[in-house]
Amino acid sequence: MGFDLAMPDLAMPEAATPNPAVTVSADSAETPDTLESFVSAANEGYKYGFVTDIEADEAEPGLTEDTVRFISAKKGEPEWLLSWRLKAFQRWQQMSDPQWAKLKIAPIDFQGACYYSAPKQNAGPKSLDEVDPELLKTYEKLGIPLGERAALAGVAVDAVFDSVSVATTYKEKLGELGIIFCSFGEAVREHGDLVRKYLGSVVPQGDNFFAALNSAVFSDGSFVYVPPGVRCPMELSTYFRINAAKTGQFERTLLIADKGSHVSYLEGCTAPQRDENQLHAAVVELIALEDAEIKYSTVQNWYPGDAEGRGGIYNFVTKRGACRGDRAKISWAQVETGSAITWKYPSCLLEGDHSVGAFYSVAITNNRQQADTGTKMIHIGRNTSSTVISKGISAGRGQNTYRGQIKVMPKAEDARNFTQCDSLLIGKSCGAHTVPYIDVRNPTARVEHEATTSKISEDQMFYCQQRGLPQEDALSLIVNGFCKEVLKELPMEFAVEAQKLLAVSLEGSVG
Amino acid sequence: MTISEQVAPFVRAFRTAPGISDEPEWLCAHRDASIRHFAATGFPTRSAESWRFTDLRPLTASPILPAPDAVPNASERALADPPPSDPPPSELSVPTHRIILVNGRFIPRLSRIGALPPGVWLGSTADTVKARPGLIAAAFDASEIVGSQPFAALNAAFFADGFVLALEPGAVLETPIEVIHLGRTDTPVAFHLRNAIIAGSGSRATVIESTEGSGPGWTNAVTAITVDADASLRHIRIQNDGSEAIHTALTRATLARGARYENFALTLGARLSRQDIQVALSGEGASVALNGAYLLRGEQEATFAPHVDHQAPGCRTDEVLKGVMQDHAHGVFLGTIAVRPGADQTDARQLNRNLLLSPWAHVDTKPELEILADDVKCSHGATVGSLDEAALFYLQARGLDETTARHMLIEAFAADVIDTAALGDILSAPLRRHLRDWLGQVGGAA
Amino acid sequence: MSNLLEIHDLRARTLGGRDILKGINLTIAPGEVHAIMGPNGAGKSTLSSVLAGKPGYEVTGGSVLYQGRDLLALPADARAREGIFLAFQYPVEIPGVNNTYFLRAALNAGRRHRGEPELDAAQFLKAVKEKLKLLDISSDLLQRPVNVGFSGGEKKRNEIFQMAMLEPRLAVLDETDSGLDIDALRVVSNGVNRLRDPQRAIVMITHYQRLLDYIVPDHVHVLSDGRIVASGDKTLAATLEQTGYAHLDSAAA
């Protein structure tokens, strides 16, 4: 391709999932208040990750070529994948973690982390009685069924919630249509050719620091292939493979929609997941061939840390989709309410003529959360079009940044983009930032960007209260109204839960 | 090239420049600190976020040192090329106070400063250093910050001249001030202009600056502006340098309570140009209007980088910048509006619209908002597009040829921002004239 | 029957501002319709805001008893659930929030408060249809976001429709006639008249006598400079029409 995808200052990584422990070097002179908590949370991670004698199922802490070889060997991978990982590792060694986002991040000690740990049956709480009551209260508010609450809280799932059999049922039904939906590891074993053909074809190993790290040490993830002309009859969801989700903080997702096919994929769940891992660096690659359509929806509600900013997930995600054929369509929808730090830019490479990209996002930061999120729409083919709708909500001491790039390449005749990003501020101590990059190299393009920043008006709150709605309900109603254009892009059942989630996320931000 | 290789010629030029020692001690010290600062940083690189879109190679490939006649204390006699015998024509149709600078030096023979009302100082920077050093010191206090950008540091080290306008509280200057800089050189040399405008509380003035010339000169201007309580300043800058020229300009304005600053920047000339405007709204109820247009063609590259900092409550920003890119031109807009905690009732709008008129033209636009207060109304917008085909057809269907129809639409696009600025007929006239001249030169190419 | 609302010597001002209400006394029984008239700046809208609990005002003296309880101690939403309805002079737009959804949330908040079962979507729609019919209002406003893009007349009709749905004990109509043409005024007035009920009191705040031709009040009060300076029956309004407010101002002074 004739341009640099990495775009040095705007490499915009993306990715999200769990695994071993990460420590943080405490030698920084100006120690952010999150640092201590970060270290202690990481130490807790050690508690789960290691026993006094290092078991054979765990890699030595630290990241060397041997670690990569160890992981690959443990997973019984073919030679090509090992060398792919090693190449990524070499690239990663030459990179440094990017500094351009508007995020305050305690330095991360990548050599202190453990990069492979087999899922442990006895690592989590043994029953709901051992789970943090606050977490359970949230599940109740969200209306999560009892059985699922245990699963989400990390209680050994099989005993309570038979996700395996559920997944199996669907798998058979999908199999009849030729749809492959399995763990990444299984895909490597069973569908190696497909994986080899597409892995890294959208997010190359050296794309950015976190993508390179993921490429070297990714643990597992999901694989989807939809054959030509097939319309996937149901929403595919990671929900059905809760066990698999526990396999790693370096998750890898690869989704291929062959010609004329159609698939909707749901990622994450609406309840906060118990997770002792601090750093998540996942990679998601989507490939839509001619006339194919992919809709990828995410509700991210990782642990955001407490009100003082202690703990919480660092979420660095590289998500990118390629519209690789004419009239292909990729649509990202995300509701980001969790994580202490969110850093993700689900993007579209609009390569095919008449291909279409969309990004719909709601991001909430409350308490001390920080989010730097947005998208890249790269117009390469003719008559490509993209739509970006972003709604950022800042409350408490939260900092919310929209960062997006619209790039129209010289050959992208008649490209169209419309971007709207609105920010809502709740309270005096939060921040809302809008950083759009528009780069146009073709005169037939039409690119429009609009943004507004406002607060919730007292008049709106009073109007709702005068009609009898309690303050928190009024706030939730107004915020949901603010996000409506995005929420309507989510699959129906997801949207309902997302609405509740918005309300829960904003608790304590008024009054 | 390493930084030390890059900066060495400048440091050498500074050490050997004549006459600097004649200046007040604080100014010498300031120059010395500035060249040290530049020596440490070198020129900006594209790895810095605010410089990543700008290709500075024409400027940095080989050192462009100050013109021999444009160093402190060089006399008019030392000019390599004698200045023109006739003063350049006025931009305005009304009488003005005129300051003419040639190759970075004030030329009294061509200038004409009329009778000034009481409480108004207007003079060249070199004269002001001698006659009213306090004014210069005040301007430095307001504008100089350690860690300032490299071009400003280089300017501080080398500047020889410029203009200074100071209005005491309540002084009202009805007659516009016209400052014209002519750059004429056959060799690549630098003209470091240092200007200051100090508007005391309740004062009022209008300044129209223009630059033009020929040859590969580099004009590097720094203008420090303070607008005190309830004062009002109109400031128009027309950059019409020659096609080989390089132009960098930094304008820093600090506005006190109820102050008003209106800036209009028209960018037409120079192969490489960059205009930074940094406005601090530090007093309650201050307001700023930043309007302008950049009309680019050939291989021109121009960056317009306004930064408005809302530090106090109840302030207002209105910003509209329009770009027209022809041929291989590259236009860059880097706008930031920042709202600090406590700057409630901020009302800020930022709009950047661009017309791309050729398959090789290129635009980057980055309108940025940074909001840390909750009771604000902020919006920004950016558009990139080409001429409306339907409108073009409509005009042609009424009998206009394509070139005329295109001109009409481009002119309408750009003239719109002149209307928005609401500067009045007298000040709008030269802007419209330049716009029409530009259209006349580009022809009707698609 | 005991009084629904008793206002004693009520004094209030905007936060940090000057006094606007300077000792209001007013008693309202169920079933009554009161009109409060007065010139601009007399304090009419302040009175309605204070009764509804709008932020930005502070009560500096006096008391308000609603159904025998201290109204001023309740937050705005609790007052609404207790049956106080304010028809806003300028209903605010709430983008993205569907009008029907909003109303159902409000209605059910009130029902929960009273210990009544919430209405499901079908029951709610049935109720909506009945009220639309009663008020002779078309349903075109229901699917739009709350007040967004409504004309002045549509906003006022929507307010009266909400009143009909929420069935308040005490409705305060703040300048509901302002900005309405004669046809819209008729529709709105007919709606209000149909909502007259022995259990419900209505307070109309208006600058003009015109509204009172359509909704005939039991009592008319004149508010001037923060006090009620005259009270009477509907003939007082007619007198005002002829003599104007200036006359009353001087009488009060």
CA distances in angstroms from A33 to A10, A368, B341, listed in the order given: 28, 10, 21
Reference A419, options A441, A380, A443, A452; nearest CA is A452
Q: How many interchain CB pairs under 8 A, A with B?
A: 113
Reference A328, options A375, A258, A389; nearest CA is A258
Q: Which chain A residues are within 8 Å of C162, Cβ to Cβ?
A: 467
The label of the residue with tokens 């090992």 reads: A82
How near does any CA of chain C get to the CA of A308, in Å?
29
Contact A478 C109 (CB under 8 A): no
Q: Which chain B residues are within 8 Å of A101, Cβ to Cβ?
A: none
Please provide the average confidence, as pLDDT, over all residues in chain B: 88
Contact C77 A463 (CB under 8 A): no
CA distances in angstroms from B46 to A9, A11, C116, listed in the order given: 9, 15, 67
How much is the average pLDDT of C39-58? 90
Query: Using CB atoms, which residue from A459, A466, A484 is nearest to C96?
Result: A484
> Is residue B212 situated within a structural domain?
yes
Q: pTM of this prediction?
A: 0.81
Q: How far apart are CA A492 and CA A489, in angstroms?
A: 9
Q: Which residue of C has its CA nearest to A459?
A: C92
Whether A444 contacts chain B with CB within 8 A: yes
Q: Which chain A residues are within 8 Å of B49, Cβ to Cβ?
A: 9, 100
pLDDT of residue B307: 95
Reference A102, options A449, A322, A332, A363; nearest CA is A363
Whether A446 contacts chain B with CB within 8 A: yes
Q: Do residues A200 and A212 make contact, with C-beta atoms less than 8 angstroms apart? A: no
> Is residue B356 situated within a structural domain?
no
Beta strands across the sheet bearing C57-66: C19-28, C5-14, C57-66, C69-70
Contact A423 B49 (CB under 8 A): no
Judge whether residue C179 has pLDDT over 90. no
Query: Using CB atoms, which residue from A428, A452, A455 is nearest to B379?
Result: A452
Q: Do residues A209 and A95 make contact, with C-beta atoms less than 8 angstroms apart? A: yes
How near does any CA of chain A get to the CA of B267, in Å?
20
Whether A3 contacts chain B with CB within 8 A: no
Q: Which residue of C has its CA nearest to A482?
A: C96
Q: At what angle do helices C152-166 and C99-113 cross, to 10 degrees?
A: 30
Contact B378 A437 (CB under 8 A): no
Q: Which residue of B has its CA nearest to A418?
A: B383
Beta strands across the sheet bearing C219-224: C84-87, C170-174, C201-206, C33-37, C219-224, C227-232
Contact A451 B377 (CB under 8 A): no
Which residues on adjacent β-strands are paired with residue C206? C37
Reference A498, options A306, A269, A326, A292; nearest CA is A269
Contact A445 B385 (CB under 8 A): yes
Q: At what angle do helices A209-217 and A79-93 cross, to 10 degrees?
A: 150
Up-side HSE of residue C66: CA atoms within 13 Å toward CB? Answer: 23
Picking from B356, B358, B392, B410 by the largest number of A CB atoms within 10 A of its own CB, the best residue to mutate is B356
**Amino acid found at A223:** F
Q: What is the pLDDT along chain B (446 residues), one digit of tens a residue?
A: 677 888 899 999 888 876 555 788 888 888 888 898 899 888 988 878 888 888 888 888 888 988 776 555 554 444 545 566 777 888 888 999 999 999 889 999 899 999 999 999 999 999 999 899 888 887 776 555 544 688 998 998 999 899 999 999 999 999 999 999 998 888 899 999 999 999 999 999 999 999 998 889 999 999 999 999 999 999 999 999 999 999 999 999 999 999 999 999 999 999 999 999 999 999 999 999 999 999 999 999 999 999 999 999 999 999 999 999 999 999 999 999 999 999 999 999 999 999 999 999 999 999 999 999 888 889 889 999 998 887 877 777 777 888 888 888 898 899 889 988 989 889 999 999 999 899 887 654 44
The label of the residue with tokens 């096919």 reads: A261
Q: At what angle do helices B25-41 and B150-158 cross, to 10 degrees?
A: 140
pLDDT of residue A10: 39
Q: Token pair of A375, please?
A: 């998208």
Q: How far apart are CA C81 and CA C104, in angstroms?
A: 13
Picking from B53, B340, B366, B374 by the largest number of A CB atoms within 10 A of its own CB, the best residue to mutate is B374
How much is the average pLDDT of C24-53? 92
Q: How far apart are CA C206 and CA B300, in angstroms?
A: 65
Q: How far apart are CA C56 and CA B343, in angstroms?
A: 20
| Chain mean position to CA A390 | 16
Contacts of A441 (CB under 8 A, 6+ apart): A408, A409, A410, B361, B362
**Amino acid found at A71:** I
pLDDT of residue A356: 97
Judge whether residue C198 has pLDDT over 60. yes
Whether B392 contacts chain A with CB within 8 A: no
Whether A386 contacts chain B with CB within 8 A: no
- Looking at chain A from residue 9 to 38, which residues have their Cβ under 8 Å from any Cβ of chain B? 9
How near does any CA of chain B get to the CA of A180, in Å?
42
CA distances in angstroms from A47 to A20, A307, B255, listed in the order given: 10, 24, 57
Q: Do residues B336 and B378 make contact, with C-beta atoms less than 8 angstroms apart? A: no
Q: How far apart are CA C65 and CA A306, in angstroms?
A: 43
Q: Which chain C residues are within 8 Å of A484, Cβ to Cβ?
A: 95-97
C107-163 pLDDT tens trace:
998 999 999 999 988 899 899 988 888 777 777 778 888 888 888 888 888 899 999
CA distances in angstroms from B198 to A221, B69, B204, B234, listed in the order given: 64, 27, 10, 12
Q: Which helix (H) or strand (E) holds B402?
A: helix B402-421
Phi, psi dihedrals of residue C39, rounded to the nearest 5°: -70, 170
- Looking at chain A from residue 393 to 422, which residues have their Cβ under 8 Å from any Cβ of chain B? 408, 410
Contact A446 B384 (CB under 8 A): yes
Q: What is the DSSP letter of A111?
A: G
Burial A59-87 (b: 16+ CB within 10 A, else e): bebebeeebbebbbeebebeeebbebbbb
Query: Using CB atoms, which residue from A457, A470, A480 is nearest to C109?
Result: A470
Q: Which chain A residues are within 8 Å of C160, Cβ to Cβ?
A: none
Q: 3-class SS at B275?
A: strand
Whether B388 contacts chain A with CB within 8 A: no
Q: Token pair of B363, please?
A: 């635009």
pLDDT of residue A8: 33
How near does any CA of chain B get to the CA of A455, in Å?
6
How near does any CA of chain C get to the CA of A462, in Å?
6
Alpha-helix runs per DSSP H in B132-232:
133-143, 150-158
Q: Which residue of A has its CA nearest to C53?
A: A466
Q: Token pair of A159, please?
A: 């005993």
Count of domains forming chain B: 1
- Looking at chain A from residue 176 to 205, which residues have their Cβ under 8 Å from any Cβ of chain B? none
Which residues on adjacent β-strands are paired with residue B316? B287, B347
Q: How far apart are CA A468 and CA C75, in angstroms?
A: 10
Q: Do residues A183 and A244 make contact, with C-beta atoms less than 8 angstroms apart? A: yes
pLDDT of residue A222: 85
Whether B365 contacts chain A with CB within 8 A: yes
Q: How many interchain CB pairs under 8 A, A with C?
A: 85
Q: Token pair of A194, please?
A: 């497909």
Contact A466 C55 (CB under 8 A): no
Q: How far apart are CA C61 and CA C164, in angstroms?
A: 33
Judge whether residue C216 has pLDDT over 50. yes
Contacts of A159 (CB under 8 A, 6+ apart): none
Task: Count CB atoms within 10 A of the CB of residue B36.
Answer: 15
Contact C/B (≥3 CB pairs under 8 Å): no
Q: How far apart are CA B236 and CA B207, in angstroms?
A: 6
pLDDT of residue B17: 74
Q: What is the pLDDT along chain A (511 residues), one digit of tens a residue?
A: 333 333 333 344 333 333 332 323 333 333 333 333 333 333 332 222 222 233 445 666 778 888 899 889 888 899 999 999 999 999 998 988 888 778 787 777 777 766 766 544 444 556 666 666 666 666 666 656 555 555 555 543 332 333 344 455 577 788 899 999 888 888 999 999 999 999 999 999 889 999 999 999 888 788 999 999 999 988 787 644 333 344 447 888 999 999 999 999 988 755 555 555 577 888 999 999 999 999 999 888 887 877 777 777 888 899 999 999 999 999 999 999 888 888 899 999 999 999 999 999 999 998 888 899 999 999 999 999 999 999 999 988 889 999 999 999 999 999 999 999 999 998 888 899 999 999 999 999 999 998 888 888 888 999 999 999 998 889 989 999 899 889 888 887 777 778 888 887 887 776 5
Contact A428 B374 (CB under 8 A): yes
How near does any CA of chain B get to the CA of A374, in Å?
14
Q: How far apart are CA A453 and CA C108, in angstroms?
A: 32
Domain that holds residue B192: 3-283
Q: How far apart are CA A16 and CA A253, in angstroms?
A: 10
pLDDT of residue B266: 96
Reference A86, options A70, A98, A75, A97; nearest CA is A70
Reference B98, options B178, B186, B154; nearest CA is B178
Whether B389 contacts chain A with CB within 8 A: no
Contact B376 A428 (CB under 8 A): no
Whether B354 contacts chain A with CB within 8 A: yes
Task: Count CB atoms within 10 A of the CB of residue B26.
Answer: 12
> Is residue B92 situated within a structural domain?
yes
DSSP A304-332: ---TT--S--EEEEEEEEEE-STT-EEEE
Reference A475, options A491, A486, A493, A463; nearest CA is A463
Which residues on adjacent β-strands are paired with residue A404? A375, A436
> Is residue B336 situated within a structural domain?
no
Q: Which residue of A has its CA nearest to C102?
A: A477
- Looking at chain A from residue 83 to 142, which residues have their Cβ under 8 Å from any Cβ of chain B? 100
Q: Which chain A residues are within 8 Å of B323, Cβ to Cβ?
A: none
Q: How far apart are CA B236 and CA B220, in angstroms?
A: 17
Q: How far apart are CA A297 and CA C96, in angstroms?
A: 21
Q: Which chain A residues are within 8 Å of C166, Cβ to Cβ?
A: 467-468
